């Protein structure tokens, strides 16, 4: 981004001076800083070993900052900070503040609620297993976090089927006249009626804890010992009940993948990200088996490296985690790995190793986590798009927010892609009724624009897309006008009143119009989105106005704060960050970006493999292959006589002469 030589406006200068004064007042201590925008919203939370130095880095020359950081620095209106004693304290505070404020420019867990855990009040006289969303230092045992209520309820159901702990909340006195139904279906051992001793009930809770820790081998060892004892005392009914429990635990254990040949305590993480979305997958290995896993949806991953995303996610994940393992595996070391490892060790109360294995058994586990993350991300998208209620709500939100005449059934989005002005391409993606219509997608190679001029490139693409449609609409208007004149003339000749003639003209006009298509090149969009802010929107509006198609609703989606710009409005439209409408336009924009990037890579790869033979008239792929097969290289073809070249299968003397001249 070139430096803007124009002097700043008075308001901008006042803002810059105020921020500069705030930066100078920040101490050189570890801590956390918060950036707020003009509306007072927290847009970024960061940590630093030296607050002043770190914050000052956001206000350097714009061309020295990355795209996302540049947009962030331009949006800062106020700075706050909190000093801490150590970097580890700053790391913990940063995670807490990100969860609380959900800042736009941070990588963050999508749900702003607390994640669920399973809790056992081990100090209670008759402990229960139940779901909670907060971790307290109350002596209880916590397991989690789980990604959502479904995950934690599934685990709770399994535990309840395997182990007969009480699920009721009544006060246990042991004097109830009879037990509830759970006792008769072997889901409880009825402490309410004194059918068990406190020691027997505690043994059940101990087994639950071992199972949730993933130590099924110890659970089975304990159960087999109880079965043997019951058999020795001729209590065959109890022995049979424990035998059935053993089989149930073994069946659950069979579904757990053998993950290691040695005893281990490992959390394995995988990551998949695309645009502003991401999914982090965690797999748990306890003992020699993979005991479970879960996936967590992420937001704010746009333009972030995998190491930065991993660093932010791991901090938030382990900030409230019930337990920290001895070994944490990631596909690559996260940002701030040394500080993160020290923080995890302090949290665990023992050494924790953070490692990114490159081969062997542990790399296989990483690959499994990565595959799961990719599948979860794809499933997340499919699930959202398949929810007609959400897509319908999204279309209605866009209709209201953008003042459209109806919900936009056909949305077209355009994106430009190039690297330093080379191989410029554009993409057009189409969503029909909120669903991607891949058959309608189009790709454009920029032909008339030199260098990295996104505005001119957008103008070329839209002209090529709508020029023919504009001509068709003009011809249709002319036909409708002629039909109206004929209808009016006929009505007057027959002595019909003027009102009747007007109705005839209207009927003729309607008859001259074909039913507006929803698909194909002849379909006009109900909403046209360009990836960019006011500049891209202005370029698109100029094209549509010149083509006589300025009735097509236009919007520009700016990445800076995910704002929508529309024609004839200076202020952007800000949809709620959690709204279905914003999510839909982000999905449309991300799909356009993905499609453009894919085409750009294909084109670059294709041109990278071109040879001088591709520019010779009369030489196609077959002749090129035959020449290279015979001579082996371009230099050998250059050194050959025309007669030798002409002797190549499929070539003529004239083509051989042309090859010799061109090479």
Q: Does pLDDT of 631 surpass 60?
A: yes
Q: Does pLDDT of 289 surpass 80?
A: no
Query: pLDDT value at position 244?
Result: 76
| Span 345-371, average pLDDT | 88
Query: pLDDT value at position 550?
Result: 84
The answer as to CATH 1.20.1250.20 being correct for domain 264-384 is no
Query: pLDDT value at position 514?
Result: 44
CB 52 within 8 A of CB 8: no
Each residue of 91-117: pLDDT tens digit? 988 988 988 888 888 888 875 456 688
Superfamily of domain 612-662: 5' to 3' exonuclease, C-terminal subdomain (1.10.150.20)
pLDDT interval class at 620 (50, 70, 90) = confident
Numbered ranges of CATH 3.40.1440.10 in the chain = 10-105
Closest alpha carbon to 562 in 378, 303, 384, 353:
303
CB 297 within 8 A of CB 279: yes
Query: pLDDT value at position 408?
Result: 93
Numbered ranges of CATH 1.10.150.20 in the chain = 612-662
What is the rounded CA–CA span in Å between residue 631 and residue 611? 14
Q: What CATH fold (topology level) applies to the domain 390-605?
A: Nucleotidyltransferase; domain 5 (3.30.420)
What is the rounded CA–CA span in Å between residue 663 and residue 661? 6
Each residue of 527-538: pLDDT tens digit? 999 988 888 899
Q: Does pLDDT of 605 surpass 60?
A: no
Each residue of 365-388: pLDDT tens digit? 898 889 888 888 877 777 776 777
Predicted structure pTM score:
0.55
Question: 3-state SS of 20-85?
Answer: HHHHHHCCCCCEEEEEECCCCCEEEEEEECCHHHHHHHHHCCHHHCCHHHHHHHHHCCEEEEEECC
> Which of 151-165, 430-444, 488-502 is most confident?
430-444
Numbered ranges of CATH 3.30.420.340 in the chain = 390-605
Query: pLDDT value at position 560?
Result: 65
Q: Which residue has the higher pLDDT, 523 or 598?
A: 523
Q: Does pLDDT of 397 surpass 60?
A: yes
**In angstroms, what CA-CA distances link 634 with 611, 615, 639, 643?**
8, 13, 9, 16
451 class by beta-carbon count within 10 Å (0-12 exposed, 13-18 middle, 19+ buried): exposed
Query: pLDDT value at position 430?
Result: 93
Query: pLDDT value at position 510?
Result: 42
How much of the chain, in percent, has pLDDT values that exceed 90?
12
Query: pLDDT value at position 271?
Result: 92
Numbered ranges of CATH 3.30.420.10 in the chain = 264-384
Query: pLDDT value at position 411?
Result: 93
Rounded to 5 degrees, φ, ψ at 293 are -175, 170
Q: DSSP class of residue 598?
A: H
CATH class of 10-105: alpha beta
């Amino acid at each position: 981004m070139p430096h803007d030589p124009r002097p700043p406006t008075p308001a901008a200068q006042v803002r810059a001076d105020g921020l500069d004064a705030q930066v100078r007042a920040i101490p050189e201590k570890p801590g956390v800083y918060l950036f707020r925008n003009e509306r007072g919203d927290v847009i970024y939370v960061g940590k630093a070993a030296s607050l002043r130095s770190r914050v000052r880095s956001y206000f350097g020359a714009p061309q020295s900052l990355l795209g996302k950081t540049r947009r962030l620095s331009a949006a800062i209106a106020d700075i706050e900070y909190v000093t801490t004693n150590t970097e580890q304290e700053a790391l913990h505070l940063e995670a807490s503040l990100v969860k609380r404020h959900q800042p736009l420019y941070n990588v963050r867990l999508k749900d702003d609620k607390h994640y669920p855990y399973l809790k056992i009040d081990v100090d209670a006289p008759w402990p229960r297993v139940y779901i909670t969303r907060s971790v307290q230092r109350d002596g209880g045992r916590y397991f989690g976090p789980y990604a959502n209520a479904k995950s934690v309820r599934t685990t709770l159901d399994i535990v309840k089927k395997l182990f007969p702990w009480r699920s009721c909340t009544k006060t246990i006195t042991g004097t109830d006249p009879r037990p509830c139904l759970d006792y008769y279906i072997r889901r409880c051992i009825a402490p309410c009626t004194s059918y068990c001793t406190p020691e027997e009930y505690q043994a059940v809770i101990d087994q639950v804890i071992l199972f949730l820790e993933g130590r099924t081998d110890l659970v089975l060892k304990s159960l087999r010992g109880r079965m043997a004892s019951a058999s020795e005392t001729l209590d065959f009914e109890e022995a049979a009940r424990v035998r059935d429990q053993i089989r149930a635990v073994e069946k659950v254990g069979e579904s757990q993948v053998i993950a290691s040949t040695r005893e281990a305590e490992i959390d394995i993480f995988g990551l998949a990200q695309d645009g502003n979305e991401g999914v982090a997958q965690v797999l748990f290995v306890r003992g020699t088996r993979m005991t479970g896993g879960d996936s967590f949806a992420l937001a704010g991953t746009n333009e972030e490296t995998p190491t930065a995303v991993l660093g932010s996610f791991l901090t938030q994940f382990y900030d409230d985690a019930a337990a920290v393992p001895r070994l944490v595996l990631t596909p690559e070391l996260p940002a701030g790995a040394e500080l993160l490892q020290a923080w995890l060790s302090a949290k665990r109360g023992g050494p924790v190793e953070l490692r990114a294995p490159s081969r062997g058994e542990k790399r296989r586990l990483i690959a499994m986590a990565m595959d799961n993350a990719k599948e979860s991300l794809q499933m997340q998208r499919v699930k959202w798009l398949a929810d007609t209620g959400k897509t319908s709500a999204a279309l209605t939100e866009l209709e209201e927010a953008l003042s459209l005449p109806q919900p936009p059934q056909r949305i077209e989005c355009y994106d430009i892609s190039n690297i330093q002005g080379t191989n410029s391409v554009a993409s057009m993606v189409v969503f029909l009724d909120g669903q991607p219509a891949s058959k309608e997608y189009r790709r454009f190679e920029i032909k008339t624009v030199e260098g990295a001029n996104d505005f001119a490139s957008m103008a070329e693409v839209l002209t090529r897309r709508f020029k023919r449609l504009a001509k068709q609409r003009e011809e249709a208007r002319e036909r409708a006008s002629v039909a109206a004149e004929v209808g009016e003339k006929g009505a007057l000749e027959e002595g019909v009143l003027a009102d009747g003639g007007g109705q005839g003209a209207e009927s003729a006009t309607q008859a001259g119009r074909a039913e507006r298509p929803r698909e194909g090149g002849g379909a006009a969009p109900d909403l046209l989105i360009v990836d960019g802010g006011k500049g891209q929107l202005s370029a698109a509006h100029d094209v549509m106005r010149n083509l006589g198609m300025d009735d097509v609703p236009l919007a520009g989606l700016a990445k800076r704060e995910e704002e929508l710009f529309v024609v004839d409005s200076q202020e952007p439209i800000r949809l709620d960050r959690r709204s279905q409408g914003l999510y839909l336009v982000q999905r449309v924009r991300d799909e356009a970006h993905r499609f453009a990037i894919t085409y750009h890579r294909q084109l670059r790869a294709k041109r990278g493999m071109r040879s001088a033979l591709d520019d010779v008239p009369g030489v196609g792929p077959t002749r090129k292959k035959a020449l290279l097969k015979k001579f082996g290289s371009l230099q050998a073809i250059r050194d050959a006589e025309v007669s030798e070249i002409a002797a190549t299968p499929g070539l003529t003397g004239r083509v051989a002469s042309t090859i010799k001249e061109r090479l």
